[in-house]
Chain A
Amino acid sequence: MTLSLELQTILTTGSILSGIIIVNLIKKYRLELRYSLLWLALIFVTIVVSIFPQIFVYLAKFMGIEVPANAVFLLVSFGSFALIFSLTLAVSNLTVKSKELTQEIGLLKLRLQKLEEQLNREDQQND
Chain B
Amino acid sequence: MRILVIVPAYNEGKNLGPLVQSIRNFHAGQLDLLVINDCSTDDTREVCCACGIEAVHLPCNLGIGGAVQTGYKYAYENHYDIAIQLDGDGQHKPEYIAELTKPIVNGQADLVIGSRFINYEGYTSTWLRRVGIKYLSLLIKLLTGASITDPTSGFRACNSKVISLFARRYPVDYPEPESIVYLLRKGHRVMEVPVVMQERQSGRSSITSQKSVYYMVKVTMAILIDRLRKPAI
| Interface positions of A (Cβ within 8 A of B) | 95, 98-99, 102-103, 105-107, 109-110
Specify the main secondary structure of chain A where it touches its partner.
helix
Given the complex, which residues of B lie within 8 Å of A98, measured CB to CB? 60
Given contacts A106-B36, A110-B74, 5 further A-B contacts (CB under 8 A): A102-B60, A103-B62, A106-B57, A106-B59, A107-B77
**Cβ of B70 under 8 Å from chain A:** yes
B56, closest chain A residue (CB): A106
- B57→A107 contact, CB < 8 A: no
* Docked pose: A60 CA to B90 CA in angstroms: 65
- Choose among A95, A99, A102, A107 the residue that contacts B74 (Cβ–Cβ < 8 A): A107
| A107:B62 contact, CB within 8 angstroms | no
Interface 0/1 of B31-66, CB less than 8 Å to A: 000001000000000000000001111111010001
Which residues in A have their C-beta under 8 angstroms from that of B66?
Answer: 99, 102-103
* In contact, B77 and A99 (Cβ under 8 angstroms): no
- Cβ A102 vs Cβ B62 within 8 A: yes
A103 to B6, CA, bound (A): 14
- A residues within 8 A CB of B60? 98, 102
Contact A110 B73, beta carbon cutoff 8 Å: no
Partner of B57, one of A95, A99, A109: A109
- Within 92-140 of B, Cβ neighbours of A (below 8 Å) are at none
The prevalent SS among residues of B at the interface is mixed
Chain B residues proximal to chain A, CB less than 8 Å: 36, 54-60, 62, 66, 69-70, 73-74, 77, 172
B210 to chain A, nearest CB (A): 22
- Closest Cβ of chain B to A102, distance in Å, is 5
Name the B residues within 8 Å of A95 (CB-CB): 172
CB distance from A99 to the nearest CB of B (A): 5
Q: Give the residues in chain A near B77, CB-CB below 8 Å.
A: 107
B172 with A102: CB separation less than 8 A: no
Q: Which residues of B contact A109 (CB under 8 A)?
A: 56-57
CB contacts (< 8 Å) of A107 on chain B: these are 56, 70, 73-74, 77
Report A73 CB to chain B, min CB distance, Å: 32
Contacts of B74 in A (CB 8 A): 107, 110
What CA separation (Å) do A75 and B55 show in the bound complex? 54
Given the complex, which residues of A lie within 8 Å of B54, measured CB to CB?
110
Whole-angstrom distance from the CB of A109 to the nearest CB of chain B? 6
Contacts of B172 in A (CB 8 A): 95, 99
User: How far in angstroms is the closest Cβ of chain B from A121?
Assistant: 14
Whether B73 lies near A103 (C-beta < 8 A) is yes
A102–B58 CB distance below 8 A? yes
For this complex, 20 residue pairs linking A to B, each with C-beta atoms less than 8 Å apart, are A99-B66, A99-B172, A102-B58, A102-B60, A102-B62, A102-B66, A103-B58, A103-B69, A103-B70, A103-B73, A105-B59, A106-B36, A106-B56, A106-B57, A107-B73, A107-B74, A109-B56, A110-B54, A110-B56, A110-B74
Complex Cα spacing A8 to B54, Å: 68
Q: Are the C-beta atoms of A99 and B62 separated by less than 8 Å? A: yes
A104 and chain B: residue at smallest CB distance: B73
**A95 and B70 alpha carbons, distance in the complex (Å):** 15
